Structure 1
Amino acid sequence: MTCIKLNASIRLALLLSSLMISALFAPALSAKSITQFTKSMRLIPGFFDLYVDDKTAKSYLKIESFSEDFIFATSLPYGLGSNDIGLDRGLQGGSRLVYWHRVGDTIFLVEKNTQYRSSDQSKAAQQAVKEAFAESRLANFEIQASEGDATLIDVTSLATRDWMGVANRIEQTKQGNFRLSSSLSSLDLDVQKSFPKNTEIQAVLTFEGDKAGEYLRSVAPDSDRFTLRQRVSLIALPEPGYTPRRFHPMSGMWAQGFEDVSAPLNQSTTQRFIPRHRLKRKPSTDTLSPAYEPIVYYVDAGAPEPIRSALVEGASWWNQAFEAAGYKDAFQVKLLPDTIDPMDIRYNVILWVHRATRGWSYGSSVTDPRTFEILKGHVTLGSLRVRQDLLIAQGLTAPFANGDDISLETEMALARIRQLAAHEVGHTLGIAHNFASSAQGDASVMDYPHPKFKLNENKVSLKNAYSVNIGQWDKQVIKYAYSDFTESEELEGLASVIAENKQLGLSFISDSDARPVGGAHPTAHLWDNGSDAVEELTRLLELREHALTNFSAHVIPDGTPYSELQERLVLVYNLHRYQVEAVAKLIGGLDYNYAVKGESSLVLKSVDKNQQQAALSQLIKTLSPQFLKLDDSIIQQIPPKAYGYQQTRESFESNTGLTLDPYSIAQAAAAHTLNYLLNEQRLTRLAQQSVSDNLSAAQLLNELTGSIIKPIYSDRAEQLIQMRVAQSYISRLLQLSKGTISAVETNAVVQSELAKLEQWLKQAIGRTRISDTRYGYLKVIETMLENPDDVRVQFKEPKLPPGSPIG
């Protein structure tokens, strides 16, 4: 017992001694001034002063106020190079409203909750909403030195954290298990910057892991580790003077917003506003007036000519829209000088971004989380897209018959680049897609245009394949977003723009209605053309037939292996694929608009029965063996891949190994049509619209069965194609019949069709001799119907090569 007391006494004495020593030395540490601590460091003055220690590779930041909010944004100045993974050069990570908060000798970076707010500015109301919803502590820092009210923190750890979610993206895309490696990551000492309104801290981040997937292996020199650069931007809040503008469903602008918990009971708590740049006209009696600060975009000098000039020209089209809104030269486009950092928050940029494979372009923005003011427009243009347009044109025109002059094809591709530049810049101005504009004579650059190829004197013409200049819809959208109204004029002014849209006959339908396979809107489609979708498909089918009839080695230049003809054939053979989607949406289609009560008339009407029937008839043509059959003259021109070349994602899938498989090619094209025709949502609409004497699901399935399963073909190639299309058709019926999410009325129609098919099949088999080639075909169908689970598990259907984006 005595021993225990003695040990306790000793421990107490040691503890007291330790505390005294700590107290003795602590003042000396905390008392170290910023001047003393940073005397050997580089000072970079600005919004936040940065002190860079090149020896230890650390960055220190001076905080002089804990009461001011600012904006925290992240991005990737250097990318991974994989379209499929998506970590592109210039990728933006969004913006947050943050502040510094000190607790003792620790400083926290805290993100405010901007999703929930109170319009009641009373202290009690503001405190209530603040206490009701969480904020987020993002990072913590120990004070390194202080001087007066200023403190110094080490922000190295802030910069070298995975803010962009790189490791998660790798996992989500099934490319392996990778984590940030602290030992292989560091500050980028060459990119530590600070300006009056923004501070930029860059780091070099390395991720280590294993089991790298195909996409990652194709772009990283070492499959176990890859290195990117990440930018952290600390941005001063914009000066007062910006007025948020209310969103309208027919404005054509994107919607951003928040919940106002103090909204009156007769109003929604959801508040919607549009993102837009700050722009104000100078007073003038002239029709057009310059802006105090024009919107300026800079084009990446890394884009080669003549692409670079095309980008400048296309992006500059937006000045036409700003002129329509009363501005003179308020939108300008210049070449990015090498003195400007494209990631700097102060500059709007158009980046020319390389990837390993063809992929999408993007228009993104950094916005003020409070007001949704756009602080930086940032366009990412994929460099391989222009080549896809060039390949399509070459496949249709066969320009290499007499030399290698592809000037017409190149000009068409550059025309698309101009339009693409305008499109993506539009997004950075806050503008949404308008997928109805292609049915209105190209009213907007914010649609996805399909090139308008034409047959003139038995030749494919590329003239006017893409429209030039900004569209009428685009001018109206800019009027809504950027017209400089006084506070008393704004509501009436905005309403007049929406009324003008109606007077001009302009429609607006965006992504959520146009992208789904089961979409119903008759004019909201991607990569389509024309006011009459069926008529345009008819025209495209004729063009496709002409191109296939004339398909030859003249679509590739001399010095190219014949095996490369395959990728040109992909584009010609599947030329109709996008218009098929447009026509399919007429079936079970519903015309509607984004009408607002008290302002506009509601449109809500089923597509006419005759229109739906015409659409079905035309789509059935794309399933016929005669349409899907490849001529022997084409098959005989395309050998297996030459040595040193290989199949890619842009090639046809094959069940025959290295050789071209014309039947898998046919099946993939037919499956594309069937995916749209037999979409469960579309079939359910058809099952329901039968009560109003419109095209019904039973009629659709009866016609498909009659045209796919029952015809008898004498041509052996057509027989084989019929088998493939039947396999795809029946597998979908079986999937629908066993599906757990099918509406009962849809399931009933499918079950009825399967029962009728089984009955017909028994009779057909009974009438067919075993020696007949048709007998095996019928028995295969019978086996599929008898063993539906085997079909769903074992059937691997060939797929089309990637389509979007086409240019």
Structure 2
Amino acid sequence: MNKKLLLSILLAGTLGFSGCKSSKPAVAAKKSQSSKDDKMESYSKVITSKAVTDEGLFAVHKVGDKYYYEIPDSLLGRDMLLVSRIAQIPANLGGGYLNAGSKTNEQVVSWERFQDNILLKVKSFAEISSDPNAAIGNSVRVNNYEPTLQAFEIKTINNDSTATVIDVTGFFKDDIPALSGLNSRLRTSYKVRNLDKDRSFINSMKSFPMNVEVKQDFTYNASNPPSNSSVGSISLQMNQSMILLPEEPMQPRLFDPRVGFFTVDQIDYSSTALKADEKTYIRRWKLEPKDPEAYARGELVEPIKPIVYYLDPGTPESLKKYIKQGIEDWQGPFETAGFKNAIIAKDAPTAEEDPEFSPEDIRYSVVRYVASTTRNAVGPSVSDPRSGEIIESDIIWYHNHLRSYRNRYLLETGAANPSARTLDTPTEEIGEMMRQVIAHEVGHALGFPHNMAASYAYEVEDYRDAAFTQANGIAASLMDYARYNYIAQPGDEGVRFVRQMGPYDHYAVNWGYRVLPDAESPEDEVATLNKWILEKADDPRYKFGRQSSRFDPQSQTEAIGNDPLRASSYGIKNLKYVVQNLPKWTSDTTNDYDDLEELYGELLGVWSRYTGHVVTNVGGVNEDLKKPEQNGTVYSNVDKETQEKSVQWLFDNVFETPQWLLDKDILQNIDYSGYAERMRSIQVRQLNNLLSLDRMGRLINAETVSDEYYSANDLLSDVSQGMFQQSGRLDVYQRNLQRAYIDRLDYLMTGEMQRGRSGYYYDVNQSDVRAITRGELNRLKRTLASKARGTRDTVTRYHYDDLLARVDNILNPEK
């Protein structure tokens, strides 16, 4: 089918778009034309016979070195999504987290005529009036005036007076911040002076039935470029995608915090309530059944337009199988929602099959394979802010990410999993890991955030059961950060070690994507959606836990099992086995210490994570999102006994010098020094985490809601007693930790809550924190004086004298 015929079909109303908006805008536009229209150059003089024209949403003309848009009057005022994306990038730009395919901006725009100009306006839907006839709509407009991104002089009118022609050459050749790939931070970091116009140009412009794609090559003069410093410049290629949005947006679905979805927010001033109505809609793809009657009968039905992901042409052949499996693993959850073949993986077409295919083209969703040393993968998407409809997404996979998974596989499962005890992980096992990571990132692109409560759904002992783990995986959702089964012990044969799709994923897809044909508005769906939640409310497998709830031991990153104390104890027991064998699995086989050094460093990170899971119990608050019709409260404090046990566990496993980590056969082969400092930094990190101001505030708050609670004073008393229970000579690690404890008490006497991720929910200076800390410091003076008198070791005595001086300086800062 040729492009002109396809354009006419699409603009006639297929694929959910309604074609011409109406005759009204066109008529208005013609009325606004001034007498200057007759004085403009003729169409044939501007768009000459030498013009190279590409028909599509707009006709795009290239005449010599100039580019023109021919904008139909019927598209004036229509909402379009303008997405800026990096197409090609120099090495190291952005520190490894920018790449070919990275989105740098996303904005809704419209083209509007004003006198003899076409204005490109940037639109926002954060504040709206959903009732077009409501008087408040005028107030919303005048108090949310839309900025003009660019004004273009009309060069000519087409021969039948149905379209205006503008010159867009300068717009796409200039350094427009809203379209740029270099934000202000990068410009400052790389000392960018200006755009070098002699080395910047428009690479191509292509028009398609529903979108226009522009590629730009930019070169900036920079004093400190991220690579090729001798050139003194940064070159990158940008892609600008502009796609026509549906005239009638998809019917949105109202968000419920008990089910995890990414969202779009609007404030609706047409509400009859006594305040503006804040509406939050979930982000999701538009799936409609081909056969609505069969769908209503409960049959599996293919969608009119499935979600299709193409594999980057640069994807290694050996990995394509696993990437496709990861994408299509979501077919199972979509079948739960009534759709068959809802999501499909395809190879990118060859140049012969489709010479116009481009991964940056907004018509295509692509799994991008990035040649970068960064160890990561992400799943961003582009959505219509009016309704939350996801239009396109690119999954980004960085080349070195598999090394992270190999290392974690060895460290976290090597004790119980013989096949992980090697640097050459079997291909099928590496492939399975990649498959699950791709599926996780696709989940983000389908609208799902991390569900950190999914790993709390299973009993700790279930992770040692082969039948259970093979059937249920290691978390109730693939969207949890639960990568490996680190609980299984040596001898637990047949258990599953790698994550997989879980029951929550089926539940969430059904909740967000099942079509409710009788619902004529988002509000009509609420009763059914609420009913589905209540049916699962008492089953922990269907609970959603927010990643931002860092105070909740039920929703922890990288944790598995419903008891952090037992789970972390099993994890550390496994790490002890790994440390004993790490040289055998690495340097003994490679005759090189590089891998041993890398893996030992990462093992310390794993140990730190396990201990952090236990810290969260202290001052922990369980968050169970629910509505008033459900029993129980949303927030409940972790019981006192669990908190006391957690503090004791931290002393047994963290603050008492972990000699098992100080293996001389490892340490003396990976570095000449720094052993004590490396251990100090990890121990202090957990100590400071334990004695954070926000945790102290939660412990103080517990007094107001609980009859029996673990108090801030209990915590300081227990930590202090544990810190100074040793007698006699202290080793370097003990001395370091005690100094760190005194420094932390100093912080508690002077620090303030920081506005940010931890929140700002109480005034520290007017709370009990200072009084409790002062009391502990005064008590410590007596303890330290006694210990200084009772030791014969010179360094230890000097150490206690120093601590006394530090305490005195804290209590008497003016001395």
TM superposition score normalised by structure 2: 0.82
Q: Paired residue for 1:208?
A: 221
Contact 2:370-2:398 at 8 Å conserved across structures: yes
Instruction: Confirm or deny that 1:500 pairs with 2:517.
Output: no
- SS of the aligned residue for 1:511 comes to coil
Q: Paired residue for 1:653?
A: none
Q: Paired residue for 1:423?
A: 440
1:181: how far off?
A: 0.7
In the superposition, relative to structure 1, how do residues 630 and 597 fare at CA in structure 2: closer, same or farther (>3 Å)?
A: closer
Q: Paired residue for 2:462?
A: none
* 628-637 vs 441-450, greater mean Cα deviation: 628-637
1:184: how far off?
A: 5.0
In the superposition, relative to structure 1, how do residues 220 and 536 fare at CA in structure 2: closer, same or farther (>3 Å)?
A: farther
Q: Paired residue for 1:439?
A: 456
Contact 1:62-1:153 at 8 Å conserved across structures: yes
Cα distance in structure 2, aligned partners of 1:402 and 1:321: 31
In the superposition, relative to structure 1, how do residues 329 and 573 fare at CA in structure 2: closer, same or farther (>3 Å)?
A: same
Contact 1:159-1:232 at 8 Å conserved across structures: no
Q: Paired residue for 1:90?
A: 101
Q: 1:452 aligns with which of 482, 485, 488?
A: 485
What CA deviation, in whole Å up to 9, does each residue of 1:467-519 have, x standing for no partner? 23x21111111111110111347334322321233154321111221xxxxx3
Paired letter, 1:508:
F
Paired letter, 1:420:
V
- SS of the aligned residue for 1:50 comes to strand
Instruction: Confirm or deny that 1:369 pairs with 2:379.
Output: no
Instruction: Confirm or deny that 1:319 pairs with 2:336.
Output: no
Q: Paired residue for 1:650?
A: none
Cα distance in structure 1, aligned partners of 2:37 and 2:616: 75
Paired letter, 2:278:
T
What CA deviation, in whole Å up to 9, does each residue of 1:677-705 have, x standing for no partner? 01111012223435633222222222222
Contact 2:338-2:514 at 8 Å conserved across structures: yes
In the superposition, relative to structure 1, how do residues 125 and 392 fare at CA in structure 2: closer, same or farther (>3 Å)?
A: closer
Paired letter, 1:365:
S
Instruction: Confirm or deny that 1:197 pairs with 2:205.
Output: no
Cα distance in structure 2, aligned partners of 1:164 and 1:781: 57
1:263: how far off?
A: 0.4
Q: Paired residue for 2:189?
A: 175
Q: Paired residue for 1:6?
A: none
Q: Paired residue for 2:700?
A: 687
Q: Map 1:219-618 to 2 at 5 A.
A: 219=227, 222=230, 224-238=232-246, 240=248, 242-265=250-273, 269-281=277-289, 282-283=291-292, 284=294, 285=297, 287-338=299-350, 339=354, 340-358=357-375, 360-394=376-410, 397=414, 408=425, 410-441=427-458, 442-453=475-486, 456-457=489-490, 464-468=496-500, 470-488=501-519, 490-505=525-540, 506-513=542-549, 519-556=550-587, 558=589, 561-598=592-629, 601-618=632-649
1:46: how far off?
A: 0.7
Contact 1:394-1:409 at 8 Å conserved across structures: no
Cα distance in structure 2, aligned partners of 1:786 and 1:435: 44
Cα distance in structure 2, aligned partners of 1:632 and 1:663: 12
1:276: how far off?
A: 1.1
Cα distance in structure 2, aligned partners of 1:462 and 1:576: 25
Cα distance in structure 2, aligned partners of 1:477 and 1:42: 49
- SS of the aligned residue for 1:474 comes to helix
- SS of the aligned residue for 1:119 comes to coil
Q: Paired residue for 2:470?
A: none
Paired letter, 1:295:
I
Paired letter, 1:274:
I
Contact 1:251-1:477 at 8 Å conserved across structures: yes
Q: Paired residue for 1:750?
A: 773
Show structure 1 runs of 5+ residues with no match: 1-25, 514-518, 641-658, 792-807
- SS of the aligned residue for 2:440 comes to helix
Contact 2:728-2:791 at 8 Å conserved across structures: no
Paired letter, 1:109:
L
What CA deviation, in whole Å up to 9, does each residue of 1:549-585 have, x standing for no partner? 2231532475563254211111223322222222211
- SS of the aligned residue for 2:606 comes to coil
Contact 1:46-1:198 at 8 Å conserved across structures: yes
1:725: how far off?
A: 1.6
Cα distance in structure 2, aligned partners of 1:671 and 1:209: 40
Cα distance in structure 2, aligned partners of 1:379 and 1:563: 31
Q: 1:781 aligns with which of 784, 787, 803?
A: 803
Cα distance in structure 2, aligned partners of 1:402 and 1:67: 61
Q: Paired residue for 1:702?
A: 717
Cα distance in structure 1, aligned partners of 2:37 and 2:698: 76
Paired letter, 1:779:
D
Paired letter, 1:445:
L
In the superposition, relative to structure 1, how do residues 115 and 596 fare at CA in structure 2: closer, same or farther (>3 Å)?
A: same
Cα distance in structure 2, aligned partners of 1:728 and 1:223: 47
Cα distance in structure 1, aligned partners of 2:617 and 2:249: 48
Contact 1:553-1:562 at 8 Å conserved across structures: no
- SS of the aligned residue for 2:149 comes to strand
Paired letter, 1:328:
K
1:278: how far off?
A: 0.9
- SS of the aligned residue for 1:247 comes to coil
1:36: how far off?
A: 4.5
* 121-130 vs 693-702, greater mean Cα deviation: 121-130
Q: 2:87 aligns with which of 59, 67, 77?
A: 77
Q: Paired residue for 1:669?
A: 682
1:448: how far off?
A: 0.8
1:329: how far off?
A: 1.4
Q: Alignment length, in residue pairs?
A: 727
What CA deviation, in whole Å up to 9, does each residue of 1:622-673 have, x standing for no partner? 3334315644532465145xxxxxxxxxxxxxxxxxx242101211220221
Paired letter, 1:464:
R
Contact 1:48-1:61 at 8 Å conserved across structures: yes
Contact 1:562-1:637 at 8 Å conserved across structures: no
Cα distance in structure 2, aligned partners of 1:407 and 1:559: 11
Paired letter, 1:780:
D
1:438: how far off?
A: 0.8
* 732-741 vs 236-245, greater mean Cα deviation: 236-245
Q: Paired residue for 2:143?
A: 132
What CA deviation, in whole Å up to 9, does each residue of 1:512-565 have, x standing for no partner? 21xxxxx32121110111111110111111111111122315324755632542
* 525-534 vs 26-35, greater mean Cα deviation: 26-35
What CA deviation, in whole Å up to 9, does each residue of 1:721-758 have, x standing for no partner? 11222222222221121124435211221222122112
Q: Paired residue for 2:794?
A: 772
What CA deviation, in whole Å up to 9, does each residue of 1:125-174 have, x standing for no partner? 433321232211011222333323422222233334233554435358x6
Contact 2:310-2:345 at 8 Å conserved across structures: yes
In the superposition, relative to structure 1, how do residues 758 and 139 fare at CA in structure 2: closer, same or farther (>3 Å)?
A: same
In the superposition, relative to structure 1, how do residues 599 and 624 fare at CA in structure 2: closer, same or farther (>3 Å)?
A: closer
1:434: how far off?
A: 0.7
Show structure 2 runs of 5+ residues with no match: 1-35, 459-474, 754-763
Contact 1:435-1:508 at 8 Å conserved across structures: yes
Paired letter, 2:141:
K
Contact 2:454-2:543 at 8 Å conserved across structures: yes
- SS of the aligned residue for 2:195 comes to strand
1:588: how far off?
A: 0.9
- SS of the aligned residue for 1:571 comes to helix
TM superposition score normalised by structure 1: 0.83
Q: Paired residue for 1:68?
A: 78
1:604: how far off?
A: 2.6
Cα distance in structure 1, aligned partners of 2:420 and 2:628: 62
Q: Paired residue for 1:761?
A: 784
Cα distance in structure 2, aligned partners of 1:525 and 1:193: 47
Between 1 and 2, higher relative CO (CA 8 Å, sep ≥ 6) is seen in 1
1:223: how far off?
A: 7.4
Contact 1:299-1:335 at 8 Å conserved across structures: yes
Paired letter, 1:734:
D
